[in-house]
Amino acid sequence: MRAGPSTRALLIGYAIWLLVVVGVDVRLADHRIMPILLVVPLIVLATRLNPRELLGLGALGLGLGVAIGFTGSEAGLERQMDTVFVIVLITLLSAWVATLRRRVEEALSRAQRDARHDELTGLSNRRGLNRDGARLVDDAEAASVALIDVDRFKDINDRHGHPVGDEALVEIGRRLRASVRDVDVVGRYGGEEFLVIVRGDDEASSEVIARVLAAFRAEPVHTSGGDLDVRVSVGVARVDAAGLEIAIERADAALYQSKRLGRDRSTIWRADPSPTP
């Protein structure tokens, strides 16, 4: 899809239009319609410029319009006021349209963001993770996926209630975000499961996962129900030619191995998965 004209190009186009209108008016000495033509393009520009820019252009058009409209000796007060009124009306209408456009764009942006982010933790949701992961595969970047499950999370909900469990999930999400690098992607995969897409080689993946485990071993999670000793189990798999979904399935198998071996550890997927303390 071709990009539309830039803001600079639009402003240059509007300046050329002003010069043309003024030039024609000077040659014809007909001041009845030319002042209004100065600001008519603002209605079109309202689909691209912000309200402040439109008001600035409208003020410029008003100044030129007044100059043109008042040049002829035949210009009476009533027509002068009509000229000013029409120019101001068109300018305000354009600014109003621009304001509505901006609100619609912001609402669409929020809707798109909400569709890709988990409401509770603010992390990417499964849809957002799949999109980012598919982009990595398309770009042929080296990456690993780490599937992370909170150990014995059901006990937290049963003992302290779901509101405290939600508080714990928010803090868990915060710690995961703080443990990964800016180039990595972290999201809530569902329930108490999280997924991290780690960009880079096996060394980068090992460093990130080590920080993830250490983040929960270092201190308890503080909630309104008290301090909780939260630990996580991790399954890791490389993203290869088999694709992202297969990598996640392998990470899930490695995660199961971490659970079976005692939790609070990570396992790298292989034909014979090996745990990492």
pLDDT digits 0-9 by tens, 79-88: 667 777 777 8
**Contacts of 267-276 spanning 24+ positions with Cβ under 8 A:** 267/234, 267/235, 267/236, 268/236, 268/237, 269/235, 269/236, 269/237, 269/238, 273/235, 276/206, 276/209
**Is the distance from CB of 35 to CB of 68 less than 8 angstroms?**
yes
Query: How many H helices and E strands in the chain?
Result: 10, 8
Query: What band does 250 get if pLDDT is binned at 50, 70 and 90?
Result: very high
Average pLDDT, the chain: 83
* Higher-confidence position of 176 and 105: 176
Query: What band does 255 get if pLDDT is binned at 50, 70 and 90?
Result: very high
User: What is the model's pLDDT at position 48?
Assistant: 80
User: What is the model's pLDDT at position 31?
Assistant: 62
Distance, CA of 189 to CA of 18 (rounded, Å): 56
142-164 pLDDT, tens digit each: 899 999 999 999 999 999 999 99
Query: What band does 92 get if pLDDT is binned at 50, 70 and 90?
Result: confident
Residues 6+ apart with CB under 8 A from 122: 173
Distance, CA of 79 to CA of 244 (rounded, Å): 70
For residue 3, pLDDT over 50 is answered with no
205-242 pLDDT, tens digit each: 999 999 999 999 999 999 999 999 999 999 999 988 88
User: What is the model's pLDDT at position 1?
Assistant: 34
DSSP 214-262: HHHHHSPEEETTEEE---EEEEEEE--TT-HHHHHHHHHHHHHHHHHTT
HEC string of 73-90 equals: CCCCHHHHHHHHHHHHHH
Query: What band does 275 get if pLDDT is binned at 50, 70 and 90?
Result: low
Distance, CA of 40 to CA of 19 (rounded, Å): 14
Strongest mean pLDDT among 29-33, 66-70, 141-145, 193-197:
193-197
Distance, CA of 255 to CA of 235 (rounded, Å): 4
Sign of the Cα torsion 13, 60, 39, 17 reads: negative
User: What is the model's pLDDT at position 151?
Assistant: 96
Rounded to 5°, the CA angle 108-99-14 comes to: 115
Rounded to 5°, the CA angle 35-38-39 comes to: 110
What does the block give as tokens for 273? 């998965």
110-132 pLDDT, tens digit each: 666 666 788 899 899 988 888 87
The pTM assigned to this predicted structure is 0.62
CA 76 to chain centre: 54
Tell me what percent of the residues of the chain surpass a pLDDT of 90.
Answer: 40
Query: What band does 9 get if pLDDT is binned at 50, 70 and 90?
Result: confident
166-188 pLDDT, tens digit each: 999 999 999 999 999 998 999 99
- What are the residue numbers of the active site? 192
